[in-house]
Amino acid sequence: MLDGNMVCSCLVMAPEAQGKKIETIEGMAKGDQLHALQKKFIEFAALQCGICTPGFLMASRALLAKNKNPTETEVRYWLAGNLCRCTGYDKIVRAVMEVAADMRGAAR
């Protein structure tokens, strides 16, 4: 996240980031306290090798900051730029939907 906007980190040159607020997966947990998305990814086995996981978590957090009640289609479209070769996406989408429901206090 660069100044609150999602960016493809591999496409941002260092001078473009100078003076901007940078948020990465390293700042998502608060000490030993995992973010709700991190907990749910673990609970739902929404990760395997973990290579894609930081991107999915950061993108999911950005989605839920904008939309606390996303449809499954909206979650899938939002995360479409993130690729996972292990999970098949369903577990990731279910984890995000579950956190969204928890944030709304929705009954399931």
Tell me the C-alpha to C-alpha distance, in Å, between residue 33 and each of 28, 29, 36, 38, 87.
9, 6, 9, 10, 24
Q: Any contact of residue 51 with ligand FES (CB under 6 A)? A: yes
Which phi and psi (to 5°) does residue 74 adopt?
A: -65, -40
Q: Which of 1, 47, 59, 95 binds ligand FES (CB under 6 A)?
A: 47
Q: Any contact of residue 15 with ligand FES (CB under 6 A)? A: no
Q: Which of 1, 52, 93, 100 binds ligand FES (CB under 6 A)?
A: 52
Q: Any contact of residue 1 with ligand FES (CB under 6 A)? A: no
Please give the Cα distance from 21 to 7 (Å, whole number).
Answer: 12
- DSSP-H helix ranges across the chain: 14-17, 36-43, 53-66, 72-78, 90-104
Q: Which of 50, 66, 73, 108 binds ligand FES (CB under 6 A)?
A: 50
Q: Any contact of residue 97 with ligand FES (CB under 6 A)? A: no
Least distance from C-beta 91 to ligand FES, angstroms? Answer: 9
Could you list the residues that contact ligand FES (CB under 6 A)? 47-53, 84-87
